[in-house]
Amino acid sequence: MYAPRDVRLEDRPAPEIVNPTDAIIRVAATCVCGSDLWDYHGINPATQPTPVGHEYAGVVEEVGAEVSSVKQGQFVIGAFFASDGTCPNCRAGYPSSCVHRESCCSPDTAAPTAALRLVPA
């Protein structure tokens, strides 16, 4: 999204593993998140082009050398944050409050609406 009501489809290069904790997901389904509507309607100012949509489901295509929680070929569901599952918040059932969480949506990563997506695993 570039500005209110300015949503564009763009060709982007296929993602590549950058960090040993990354995974590449072939997206099967995704949606635009309700929080994207704030930007779409101009309630939140757009300061730079930003991918829309956070939630996604798909199949793991490739994993980095340090990834052990998912395997190639596994079907996964992801949200706007990747959590490690080990911190007290995760163990209490609140993975979106993970103290080690990493954003899955930034201008540098493909949006969930892309065919392939790079995420921290």
User: Does residue 71 belong to any structural domain of this protein?
Assistant: yes
Q: Give pTM, 2 decimals.
A: 0.75
CATH number at residue 93: 3.90.180.10
The pLDDT score that the predictor gives to residue 114 is 59
- Going by C-alpha positions, the residue among 28, 58, 73 that lies closest to residue 119 is 58
Which positions of the chain have pLDDT values less than 70? 104-121
User: Does residue 14 belong to any structural domain of this protein?
Assistant: no
Total number of domains in the chain: 1
User: Does residue 6 belong to any structural domain of this protein?
Assistant: no
Distance CA 7, CA 49 (A): 9
The pLDDT score that the predictor gives to residue 50 is 79
Q: Locate tokens 């980095």: which residue?
A: 64
- Going by C-alpha positions, the residue among 1, 6, 91 that lies closest to residue 53 is 1
Domain that holds residue 69: 29-120
- The predicted-structure confidence for 74-84, as pLDDT tens digits, reads as follows 999 887 777 87
Distance CA 15, CA 38 (A): 28
